[in-house]
């Protein structure tokens, strides 16, 4: 792709603009007034339970420390999730940015990842042919039963064509 590029990342400007357009209506990450939390808003998930990670600030004195931690553990303690760990925000955000940057710089890797996600969704929708055939047969049998009931009701003049 030609055109301008982002000087910091070497990413074609059109890609950056397209990505921004694609996410413009997404839920905004939180901003607690002190800090913008780019991975909040449900993007970052707990590796133990899958709940969203929430921003957490600790300020033992004048200095503030920023972390992400499991919202399930925050809400229900060990009854919700056993992941008590706090993940340093700066380190985690840098790791995520490096991964995203790597994907954007390698379109073949991005395409392969997207193809894998698409195939995963397709296979989940398809299921097994036997199960799908049984499902359709069940639906056809239900339609036949309804049709027979309507015919019986019409024969007994309980319903009319009007």
Tokens of 121: 């969704």
pLDDT of residue 159: 76
Among 2-11, 40-49, 90-99, 146-155, whose mean pLDDT is lowest? 2-11
- Give pLDDT tens digits for 10-69: 678 888 888 888 877 776 666 565 677 777 767 788 989 988 888 888 888 888 888 888
Per-domain boundaries in the chain: 8-107
Q: Which residues pair with 16 in a beta bridge?
A: none
Quick one: which of 115, 101, 116 has its CA closest to 16? 101
First to last CA, the chain: 62
Vertex 37 angle, CA 39 and 12, to 5°: 65
Overall pTM surpassing 0.85 (yes/no):
no
pLDDT of residue 6: 46
Q: What is the percent of the chain with per-residue pLDDT over 90, rounded to a whole number?
A: 6
């Amino acid at each position: 792709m030609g055109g301008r590029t982002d000087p910091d990342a070497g990413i074609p400007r059109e890609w950056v603009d397209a990505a921004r357009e694609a996410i413009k209506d997404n839920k905004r990450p939180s901003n607690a007034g002190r800090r913008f939390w780019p991975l909040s808003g449900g993007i970052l998930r707990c590796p133990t339970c899958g709940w969203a990670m929430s921003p957490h600030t600790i300020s033992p004195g004048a200095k503030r420390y920023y972390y992400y931690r499991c919202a399930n553990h925050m809400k229900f303690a060990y009854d919700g999730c056993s992941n008590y760990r706090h993940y340093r925000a700066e380190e985690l955000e840098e790791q995520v940015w490096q991964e995203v940057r790597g994907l954007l710089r390698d379109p073949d890797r991005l395409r392969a990842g997207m193809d894998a996600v698409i195939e995963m969704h397709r296979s989940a929708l398809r299921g097994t042919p036997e199960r799908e055939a049984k499902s359709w047969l069940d639906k056809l049998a239900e339609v036949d039963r309804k049709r027979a009931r309507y015919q019986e009701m019409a024969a007994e003049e309980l319903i009319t064509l009007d």
